Amino acid sequence: MPIKTGIEFESAMARVKAITMATDKQFKALEERARELGSSTTFTSTQVAEGMQYLSMAGFKTRTDNKSNAWCFKLSKCGSCRLGYNFRYRFKYS
């Protein structure tokens, strides 16, 4: 099971890198943030990476993604909604 989880995380982060066109330094920061939020919230690192994908598709740059993530995770936790829904909703109406 841990191998599958690792593969899913790496795959999600690869999509983040492709969408953001982040430099290696920026990508490393995003990857560290995904791991950090995955261990300090009720969401997995893979779910965090998927949320980062939505932020990136909404046009957020890598420097603001890290700041925006926490807000969306808090909304998902208290709103009993799926994480991806909150990311899409946040940027559709902001």
CB 68 within 8 A of CB 60: yes
pTM of the model as a whole:
0.72
Crossing angle (nearest 10°) for helices 24-40 and 62-79:
20
Q: What is the mean pLDDT of the chain?
A: 77
Length of the chain: 94
DSSP per-residue codes, 46-67 = HHHHHHHHHHHHTT--HHHHHH
Tell me how far apart the alpha carbons of residues 68 and 52 are, in angstroms, rounded to a whole number. Answer: 9
Read off the pLDDT of each residue in 43-72 and give the average, rounded to a whole number.
Answer: 74
Domain positions in the chain are 2-92
pLDDT in tens, 11-48: 999 999 999 898 999 999 999 988 998 888 888 899 88
